[in-house]
């Protein structure tokens, strides 16, 4: 089998070599998942047993938490604090949450209808579900998708990004150790462009849950249309933070920094546009830039590191091209904008935290997803202007509002065209709460009851309990 090298982005060195699937391997994986769903023991497993499998996976993740955190940091470059306290425990908690709630969410519902008829609604498994995961949260997003798909009784084919397959491969091992029947969880490692056409157009696949760029999402929608699959699309973003003049400035500055520089800005929900009330603009900018300059870059394994490298040389090139474009279009760099020069960083794909001032809404850095540590600062005079600027985007993933007037912030949140609004906080994901974007940020939800039910199909059974002859039985009787 062909293999592919996985690179440590902090050092540029080869971290591992992993098998790389070809089109025939994918066809085999689909056949295996199909067989396991149609003929295997999996669909006959009780809900209590299903819950036990999920709890074992959660435990398996926590048993290897330290090793997984190290591996995720080496593979993605993100600081060890992030993987240790966020990615790994959150992954385990998602399995736990859906284990404890699957029975409740899968309950059928009886409806008594006005006519005296009855309806029953049954959430059923969908069948074979393809789970396609990006490189920015390799284990966490794989866990969201796998936990929900399995809790709903599906069989799956997991496709991590080939840049960051290592923790996904560990996750599949953990699922196997939990004793899941053969063929229920399959994994494919390969570049998306090579395998996407087979994986996404095969009529044996019932659903695709995709997280990644809008461009790839559009290609997958095209591929999936020939066999009319259920899709969830969690796509790109260009989210805005709105800093109202009545905010607690220190809290807003700190929150805004995290909302763009966490994970090197490689977050779909990165608040890459910060809209600041004119009354506090200069104070905010001064504090924000001063703090951005102090962010410590380094190898994510060093506990003092606050920001790691970008995922690849190619991703850094893309970010640099945007920075150059921003300069050309007349935006002013307030800090960063360069590859850091210190010798210990020279082999990694590092880039300085970069802050642009004087950004005009027409500029490409204000409109397009950069997916790196680059932020645009703009000012507004009236709340309506902030609302208009925040909504002036093809994307609609998320928004932050910073204000000490919660009623005002809540009112404003209703006018923002985005799937998630955070008020005086950022990046909080809850297993109980659905998450997903509007506009070109996609459709469908992940997490919560609504997200979980995406992985099911709803059957409607209708009956007439009256014992009387219904209208349909004598419709043609008097012809």
Applying the rule CB under 6 A, the residues between 274 and 313 that interact with ligand NAD are none
Nearest approach in angstroms of CB 219 to ligand NAD is: 5
CB of 158 closer than 8 Å to CB of 145: yes
* CA nearest to 235, candidates 252, 214, 218: 214
Give all strands of the β-sheet with 118-125 in edge-to-edge order: 109-112, 118-125, 456-463
Phi/psi at 186 (5° precision): -120, 150
Asked if 75 is part of the footprint of ligand NAD (rule: CB under 6 A), the reply reads: no
The residue count for binding ligand NAD (CB under 6 A) is 32
Nearest approach in angstroms of CB 217 to ligand NAD is: 7
Q: Work out which of 95, 97, 371, 426 binds ligand NAD, going by CB under 6 A.
A: 371
Asked if 135 is part of the footprint of ligand NAD (rule: CB under 6 A), the reply reads: yes
Which position among 20, 200, 268, 335 bears the catalytic label? 268
Look at phi and psi of residue 214 and say left if phi exceeds 0, alpha if psi is from -120 to 50, else beta: alpha
Nearest approach in angstroms of CB 269 to ligand NAD is: 7
Asked if 133 is part of the footprint of ligand NAD (rule: CB under 6 A), the reply reads: yes
List Cα–Cα distances, 24 to 29, 62, 339, in angstroms.
Answer: 9, 35, 42
From CA 271, how far away is CA 241, in angstroms rounded? 6
From CA 396, how far away is CA 400, in angstroms rounded? 12
Active site residue 268: yes
Half-sphere exposure of residue 303: CA atoms within 13 angstroms, side-chain side: 2
Nearest approach in angstroms of CB 142 to ligand NAD is: 10
Applying the rule CB under 6 A, the residues between 151 and 170 that interact with ligand NAD are 159-162
Nearest approach in angstroms of CB 368 to ligand NAD is: 10
Assigned token pair, 212: 């990644």
Half-sphere exposure of residue 66: CA atoms within 13 angstroms, side-chain side: 0
Nearer CB in complex with ligand NAD: 86/252: 86
Asked if 352 is part of the footprint of ligand NAD (rule: CB under 6 A), the reply reads: no
Nearest approach in angstroms of CB 137 to ligand NAD is: 6
Q: Which stretch binds ligand NAD (CB under 6 A): 1-9, 121-129, 190-198, 386-394?
A: 190-198
Which position among 72, 234, 446, 454 bears the catalytic label? 234
Asked if 451 is part of the footprint of ligand NAD (rule: CB under 6 A), the reply reads: no
CB of 230 closer than 8 Å to CB of 206: yes
Nearest approach in angstroms of CB 130 to ligand NAD is: 8
Active site residue 177: no
Contact partners, residue 147, CB within 8 Å, separation at least 6: 54, 57, 94, 95, 97, 98, 99
CB of 402 closer than 8 Å to CB of 310: no
From CA 46, how far away is CA 28, in angstroms rounded? 27
Asked if 322 is part of the footprint of ligand NAD (rule: CB under 6 A), the reply reads: no
Asked if 434 is part of the footprint of ligand NAD (rule: CB under 6 A), the reply reads: no
Kindly calculate the radius of gyration of the chain based on its CA atoms and give it in whole angstroms: 24
CB of 146 closer than 8 Å to CB of 175: yes
From CA 163, how far away is CA 192, in angstroms rounded? 11
Asked if 196 is part of the footprint of ligand NAD (rule: CB under 6 A), the reply reads: yes
Nearer CB in complex with ligand NAD: 40/196: 196
Asked if 374 is part of the footprint of ligand NAD (rule: CB under 6 A), the reply reads: no
Nearer CB in complex with ligand NAD: 83/161: 161
From CA 478, how far away is CA 317, in angstroms rounded? 77
Applying the rule CB under 6 A, the residues between 379 and 398 that interact with ligand NAD are 397
Nearer CB in complex with ligand NAD: 212/308: 212
Q: Work out which of 11, 91, 136, 186 binds ligand NAD, going by CB under 6 A.
A: 136
* CA nearest to 158, candidates 6, 26, 338: 26
Applying the rule CB under 6 A, the residues between 199 and 238 that interact with ligand NAD are 199-200, 211-213, 216, 219-220, 234-237
Applying the rule CB under 6 A, the residues between 395 and 414 that interact with ligand NAD are 397
Nearer CB in complex with ligand NAD: 75/403: 75
Q: Interface with ligand NAD by CB under 6 A: which residues?
A: 132-136, 159-162, 191-193, 196, 199-200, 211-213, 216, 219-220, 234-237, 268, 369, 371, 397, 437, 441-442
Catalytic residue positions?
234, 268
């Amino acid at each position: 089998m062909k293999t592919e090298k996985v690179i440590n982005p902090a050092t540029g060195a080869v971290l591992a070599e992993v098998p790389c699937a070809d089109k025939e391997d994918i066809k085999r994986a689909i056949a295996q998942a199909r067989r396991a769903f149609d003929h295997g023991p999996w669909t006959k497993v009780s809900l209590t047993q299903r819950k036990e499998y999920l709890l074992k996976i959660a435990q398996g993740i926590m048993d290897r938490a330290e090793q997984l955190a190290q591996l995720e940091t080496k593979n993605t470059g993100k600081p060890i604090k992030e993987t240790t306290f966020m990615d790994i425990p959150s992954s385990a908690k998602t399995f736990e949450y859906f284990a404890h709630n699957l029975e409740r969410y899968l309950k059928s519902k009886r409806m008594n209808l006005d006519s005296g008829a009855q309806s029953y609604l049954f959430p059923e498994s969908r069948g074979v579900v393809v789970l396609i995961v990006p490189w920015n949260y390799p284990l966490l997003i794989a866990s969201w998708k796998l936990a929900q798909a399995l809790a709903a009784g599906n069989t799956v084919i997991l496709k991590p990004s080939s840049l960051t397959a290592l923790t996904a491969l560990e996750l599949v091992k953990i699922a196997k150790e939990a004793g899941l029947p053969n063929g229920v969880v399959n994994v494919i490692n390969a570049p998306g462009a090579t395998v996407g056409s087979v994986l996404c157009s095969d009529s044996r696949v019932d659903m695709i849950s995709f997280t990644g760029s809008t461009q790839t999402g559009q290609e997958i929608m095209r591929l999936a249309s020939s066999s009319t699959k259920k899709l969830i699309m969690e796509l790109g973003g260009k989210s805005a933070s709105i800093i109202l003049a009545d905010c607690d400035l220190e809290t807003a500055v700190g929150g805004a920094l995290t909302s763009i520089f966490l994970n090197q800005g490689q977050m779909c929900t990165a608040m890459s546009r910060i809209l600041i009330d004119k009354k506090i603009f200069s104070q905010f900018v001064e504090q924000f830039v001063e703090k951005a300059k102090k962010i410590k870059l380094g190898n994510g394994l060093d506990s003092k590191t606050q920001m790691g490298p970008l995922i690849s040389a190619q991703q850094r090139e893309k970010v640099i091209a945007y920075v150059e474009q921003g300069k050309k279009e007349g935006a002013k760099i307030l800090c960063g904008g360069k590859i850091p020069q210190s010798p210990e960083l020279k082999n990694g794909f590092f880039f300085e935290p970069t802050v642009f001032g004087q950004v005009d809404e027409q500029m490409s850095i204000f409109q397009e997803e950069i997916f790196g540590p680059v932020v645009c600062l703009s000012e507004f005079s009236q709340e309506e202007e902030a609302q208009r600027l925040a909504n002036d985007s093809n994307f609609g993933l998320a928004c932050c509002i910073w204000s000490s007037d919660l009623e005002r912030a809540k009112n404003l949140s209703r006018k923002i065209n985005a799937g998630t609004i955070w008020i005086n906080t950022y990046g909080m994901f809850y297993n109980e709460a659905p998450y997903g974007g509007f506009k070109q940020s996609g459709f469908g939800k992940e997490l919560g009851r609504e997200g979980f039910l995406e992985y099911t199909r709803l059957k409607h059974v209708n009956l007439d309990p009256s014992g009387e002859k219904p209208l349909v039985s004598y419709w043609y009787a008097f012809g």
